[in-house]
Amino acid sequence: MGPNLHRSEIVLREQAGELILPITQGARADRGMPKVDVTPEQVADIAAWLHSYRVTSRGGHDEKINIVVGNATTGKAAFDRLCGSCHSVTGDLQGFAAKFTDPRAMQQAWIMPGVTAGRGPGAGAGAGPAMKVPPVTATVTPATGAPVTGRLDAVDDFYVSVTGDDGVSHRFTRTNGLPKVDIHDPLAPHRELLRKYDDKDIHDVTAYLESLK
């Protein structure tokens, strides 16, 4: 019966992981949930942890998870190494953490500005200021005529569309990579850093920014 239940029903009905265990052993592999290499003892520990959360009548939990668990000193070094070439805590990020009521929203904002963190107590709406990030733009250079720069609306191997500051849309068909398209993504450095961060870096930088409140 367990594998046919909704995941929330499983958590509510099982006692010590007996309904979760079959799923970890591959009972839902045909629905895209592969077998997980965990022992029955580990599943029981996971079940105990899930049951430790107090569930509210609105379907969420009312536990406020503290994510500020890093080291602020090493966080400063990580910030200088990873972020210091573009940002400064005495310049554009001065008082940054103080703008947020929840460190989770602050952490999301420095990792990827403009992307909303998952909802939760104090997170999401009202947790901090909306981060204004310029749109992705592109410059299209046709074979004849002047290049056209504007907000990037769509691009693939066969088509590109940009909208200029005047609101006029410019559409081009593409063949063998022509016309040339140069994309300007203001978040490109942040996306690249996602490949370089490890968990410790994220925790430590968050702790460092929180320490500057």
| 156: its two tokens | 């693939």
What integer pLDDT is reported at residue 158 of this predicted model? 96
What are the pLDDT digits (tens) for 78-125?
999 999 999 999 999 999 999 999 999 999 999 998 765 444 433 444
Q: What is the DSSP string of 137-178?
A: EEEEE-SSS--EEEEEEEE-SSEEEEE-TTS-EEEEE-BTTB
**Percentage of the residues of the chain whose pLDDT score is greater than 90:** 54
Distance of alpha carbon 92 from alpha carbon 28, whole angstroms: 48
Residue range 72-80: mean pLDDT, rounded: 97
Mean pLDDT (the chain) is 83
- Long-range contacts of 196-201, Cβ-Cβ distance < 8 Å, separation of 24 or more: 196/82, 197/82, 197/111, 200/70, 200/74, 201/78, 201/82
For residue 3, give the nearest of 20, 108, 14, 135 by alpha carbon.
20
Enumerate the domain spans of the chain: 2-51, 72-131+190-211, 137-185
Decide if pLDDT at 36 tops 50.
Answer: yes
CA distances from 98 to 111, 125, 130, 208 (A): 16, 16, 14, 12
CB-based contacts of 71: which residues, under 8 Å, 6+ apart? Answer: 203, 204, 207
Structure confidence at residue 19 as a pLDDT band (50, 70, 90): confident
What integer pLDDT is reported at residue 122 of this predicted model? 39
CA distances from 150 to 30, 36, 108, 159 (A): 45, 47, 28, 15
Distance of alpha carbon 31 from alpha carbon 51, whole angstroms: 25
Q: Tokens 């265990």, residue?
A: 21
Decide if pLDDT at 143 tops 80.
Answer: yes
